[in-house]
């Protein structure tokens, strides 16, 4: 299959490129400067030349707090542009994958969210991701929306790296205990997204690491798996005073009969730390 990836230099986009190549697909990826998804004409030109069978849209505005200061900018990238990508894909008969977020939910359900649960985003970012879902599904009848959460991977700043850095430099960290979600290793998600393209199960898919935890529990597991002695202090969301509100409980599971089930988050973490170690080992040889 010929696959085109937008946002290909991002944390998820980089792993999607590798997973698609490993699965034997003919893959072409574009960075932000290579293909700006807010430029509808550029999208139509590019897709007209490359004639992909599928487009995986990993390009997004991902600054959750920054979106509160610039709702129009966030909506342009996550909502309007998602519709442009989807319709340009439809014009060449390509399927489209839009990567969405657990932040489309308000976090008040108190248990794992399934695809049919009502959405009710509480942040600007969440609202723009929901707008992107709708725009993607409306513009292309062969559209998949993949909701995931709490991503960590090699090619982007992430919570795991932050904890390890702070743990090494300070010996103690302060982490919120009142937000619960499903940490997801981007390599596992990328592999799942590429596998999903083998089926015609269009529509919404929840695809996140199995199980759930709070950020505080996640930090504890990071230090345990990394073999680090770090004092982990628990805090409330309110204490951090972040600009954008976050859902209190936003773990995702799937009720989709074609669900692609990812490994539990602890295994995702193990895979990520292992991958980092082998790359560091190779770099020092
Ligand atoms: N990170 C998470 O925890 C998380 C959780 C759930 C869902 N998601 C979703 O997963 C997807 C991938 O996220 P990620 O964490 O991999 O994000 P990321 O590392 O920030 O990657 C996003 C990429 O999109 C590019 N981009 C931004 N605006 C663009 C535009 N107008 N045209 C083309 N490219 C553009 C960025 O390039 P520049 O940096 O050069 O601007 C960046 O390379 C996003 O849809 C995100 O909403 C993320």
**pLDDT of res. 260:** 97
Closest ligand 1 atom, residue 186 Cα: 16
Ligand 1 centroid to Cα of residue 68, in Å, is 17
Q: What 3-state class would DSSP assign to 176?
A: strand
Q: Is this structure's pTM higher than 0.95?
A: yes
Half-sphere exposure of 23 (CA within 13 A, CB side): 21
How are beta strands 213-214 and 180-181 bridged, if at all? antiparallel
pLDDT tens-digit series, residues 169-190 = 999 999 999 999 999 999 999 9
Q: Best mutation site among 6, 40, 58 for ligand 1, i.e. most ligand atoms within 8 A of its Cβ? A: 58
pLDDT tens-digit series, residues 201-224 = 999 999 999 999 999 999 999 999
Mean pLDDT, all residues of the chain: 97
Strands (E), the chain: 2-6, 26-30, 54-57, 95-101, 143-148, 151-152, 172-176, 180-181, 184-185, 203-206, 213-214, 231-235
Closest by CA to 116, choosing from 284, 283, 252, is 252
User: Domains (ranges, CATH) in the chain?
Assistant: 2-158+182-211+250-265 (3.40.50.720)
pLDDT tens-digit series, residues 76-112 = 999 999 999 999 999 999 999 999 999 999 999 999 9
Closest by CA to 146, choosing from 183, 198, 201, is 201
pLDDT tens-digit series, residues 6-19 = 999 999 999 999 99
pLDDT tens-digit series, residues 135-157 = 999 999 999 999 999 999 999 99
98 is catalytic: no
| % the chain with pLDDT above 70 | 100
Beta bridge pairs of residue 204: 145
Residue appearing with tokens 């807010």: 38
The per-residue b/e assignment along 101-112, b for 16 or more CB within 10 angstroms, e otherwise, is bbbbbbbebeeb
Ligand 1 centroid to Cα of residue 6, in Å, is 9
Ligand 1 centroid to Cα of residue 10, in Å, is 6
Q: Best mutation site among 10, 153, 157, 209 for ligand 1, i.e. most ligand atoms within 8 A of its Cβ? A: 10
The Cα 187–Cα 19 span in angstroms is 7
Ligand 1 centroid to Cα of residue 99, in Å, is 9
Answer whether residue 285 shows pLDDT above 80. no
Rounded average pLDDT over 110-120: 97
pLDDT tens-digit series, residues 27-81 = 999 999 999 999 999 999 999 999 999 999 999 999 999 999 999 999 999 999 9
Q: Ligand 1 pocket by C-beta < 6 Å: which residues? A: 6-7, 9-13, 32, 36-38, 58-62, 77, 81, 99, 101, 129, 148-151, 156
Number of neighbours of residue 46 by Cβ within 10 angstroms: 20
């Amino acid at each position: 299959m010929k696959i085109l990836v937008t946002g290909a230099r991002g944390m998820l986009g980089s792993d999607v490129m590798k997973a698609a190549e490993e699965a034997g697909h003919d893959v072409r990826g574009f960075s932000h400067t290579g293909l700006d998804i807010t430029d509808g004409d550029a999208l139509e030109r590019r897709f007209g030349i490359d004639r992909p069978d599928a487009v995986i849209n990993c390009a997004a505005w991902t600054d959750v707090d920054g979106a509160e200061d610039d709702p129009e900018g966030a909506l342009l990238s996550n909502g309007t542009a998602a519709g442009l990508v989807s319709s340009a894909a439809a014009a060449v008969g390509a399927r489209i994958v839009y990567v969405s977020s657990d932040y489309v939910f308000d976090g008040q359900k108190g248990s794992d969210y399934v695809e049919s649960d009502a959405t009710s985003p509480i942040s600007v970012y969440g609202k723009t991701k929901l707008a992107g879902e709708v725009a993607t599904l409306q513009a292309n009848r062969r559209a998949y929306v993949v909701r995931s959460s709490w991503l960590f991977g090699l090619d982007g700043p992430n919570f795991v790296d932050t904890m390890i850095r702070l743990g090494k430099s300070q010996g103690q960290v302060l982490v919120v205990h009142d937000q619960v979600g499903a940490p997801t290793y981007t390599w596992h998600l990328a592999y799942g997204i590429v596998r999903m393209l083998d089926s015609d199960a269009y529509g919404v898919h929840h695809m996140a690491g199995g199980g759930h935890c709070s950020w505080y529990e996640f930090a504890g597991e990071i230090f345990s798996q990394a073999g680090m002695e770090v004092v982990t202090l628990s805090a409330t969301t309110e204490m951090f005073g972040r600009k954008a509100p976050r859902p209190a409980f936003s773990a995702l599971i799937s009720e989709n009969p074609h669900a692609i089930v990812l490994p539990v988050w602890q295994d995702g973490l193990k895979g990520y730390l292992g991958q980092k170690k082998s790359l560091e080992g190779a770099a020092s040889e």
